[in-house]
Structure 1
């Protein structure tokens, strides 16, 4: 298929700069055989007590740094941890960096360029590692908001809180798993009252999630890898749910991608820890996930390709046309949708 097959016109005023308040007041488009306009707080009414919610418990770190290589200003966005003091990063201006250069961020934090890759990644070794590096990032880094959330004067104080989900526990992501942004303590209590269970997975979302697809043929696109983990309790809960006839509801494309990476062809799931660079496009046969809660994505993006694989390209084109006409809010701080999987042959 061609990247152009996943294009659509999105008015700029549909892009959200601020989240809904409260978060579960955001709109929800239920996409099944028909389209239904609802609210995120209606989610318990759309699920069955036998269903299982699987959410991503990653926590966003302040992964954007500004430093200097000599007199040259360098902007760095970390996107994948490779070791205690090693990170892959996107750098501006990346072309002017050379292997062996040192980027100074603060008196107590610097990094050496170890490698420059054809993909555009720069491998950095920091002057500190482990918990010391994480503490330094909290002192000197800023929240890595995606470029479509306009902050001409820098991130707002509320972004540190708004860009974390209620599930955020394990530090390591450089982008939020945004479907989780719609959950509140009240919504979780209502899910509990209905008897709907939930279990965590961890996928440390990378900045590669923001990268556009630049090739004409989607088969030529290369995904950046991300680290994820599925624990034995979650794997067991998924198996029990499927055995009891319940549905697996992925909260976000990150949870779905990790589950589908770890699943065997027969739909069984074992505990998993490792990298994934899975790229899901129409024609993919889903092995685990039955329902997907997800925000509205960019035109020509890998995520719009994924939801088109899950719910059908024609159905998603119709759903997005309805959302645009009905003034739904798009992207990270925008509204959400609950997608039913198209029947698979």
Structure 2
């Protein structure tokens, strides 16, 4: 499909630079069914318990964002270099996208803040490089000392990253270090909202997908067939898969909280619509025409024009339905992107 079919104009003032407080005070657009002319409801995140049925399950991503943005220079010169860690390779090596990458050669030593140094070992086809962090301290300790939260470019280009982002850009479910971007649909959840979901009888499960910086890369191809999707590491434990299959067998719905949860669930889905345990990389690219086997709904924020995530929600709800929903959101001044408002997409109504 042509990538420009997923384009739309967004007034820049609708890009949220800070989250609402409290988190569950965000608005939520309810989209039921795939008929482009069907009504769309303006709701709030706090309405979520009333919009799901007892026995339905929400699936969250428990990845934890690490301070993966580093600023420094080449050790042998004055060339300034920025690094955004993308994907862990082993205990001391990470793939990273570099700013001013043309000034960095394989074998160069890079010096970051806090006395943190790394060797640029290998350049990859996507333009990233492998960084080998020196020393004996765990890389997570080094990042806590030298790194900042890797906010999306559409926020970081408009304001400085500060201490508030250390908390704001982390979900209440964050437990497993490894993400360089937040599973932002979960940013709306508070203990009060979780308690209300529990009281309603709505179940919760967690999986882990370590979101990489590739999630922000633009689609440069003119056709979706020519786009190469980035890979990310994920885990679905056996007991989680078993409980999710029991939910489906009982006639209830599996609703992914965020596109990261959805992508991992669909990567683990079998042709009979069961979910298998999973551990490994996934580079699944979901576009219209894809047959969903794992999920019955999705809670997600609003996505960038011509992005892979805009294609994903269009696959779930149809492109026409999502373009109409986004037009409604823009006309009604919803807040967009990572710190913005939410939507609940239920293709079955």
1:71 aligns with 2:87: no
Map 1:1-345 to 2 at 5 A: 1-33=1-33, 34-69=39-74, 70-106=77-113, 108-128=115-135, 132-150=138-156, 154-341=160-347
Instruction: Say which SS state the counterpart of residue 148 (structure 1) adopts.
Output: helix
Task: Give the 3 Å change call, closer, same or farther, for CA 3–185 of structure 1 in structure 2.
Answer: same
Tell me the CA shift for residue 106 of structure 1.
4.0
Deviations 1:77-100 (A, max 9, x none): 001001111111000111221111
Deviation at 1:310, TM superposition (A): 0.5
SS, match of residue 120 in structure 1? coil
Q: Which runs of 5+ in 1 are unaligned?
A: none
Q: TM-score, normalised by structure 2?
A: 0.96
Query: Secondary structure of the residue that 2:154 maps to in structure 1?
Result: coil
CA contact (8 A) 1:310 1:342 kept: no
Deviation track 1:281-327 (CA, whole Å, cap 9, x = no partner) reads 00000001001000000000000000000011000000000000000
8 Å CA contact retained: 2:92, 2:138? no
Q: Deviations over 1:172-224 (max 9, x none)?
A: 00000000001000000000000111010000000111111011011111111
Whole-angstrom distance in 2 between the partners of 1:332 and 1:122: 26
- Tell me by how many angstroms 1:264 deviates: 1.2
Answer whether contact 1:170 1:202 (CA < 8 A) is retained. yes
Change (3 A) 1:273 1:250: same
RMSD of Structure 2 on Structure 1 (CA): 1.3
Cα distance in 1 for partners of 2:307, 2:348 equals 20
8 A Cα contact 1:59 1:169, kept in partner: yes
TM-score (norm 1): 0.97
SS at match of 1:254: helix
Q: Distance in 2 between matches of 1:85 and 1:251?
A: 31
Question: Structure 1: how far apart are the matches of 2:7 and 2:268?
Answer: 30
d(CA) in 1 for partners of 2:164, 2:237: 32
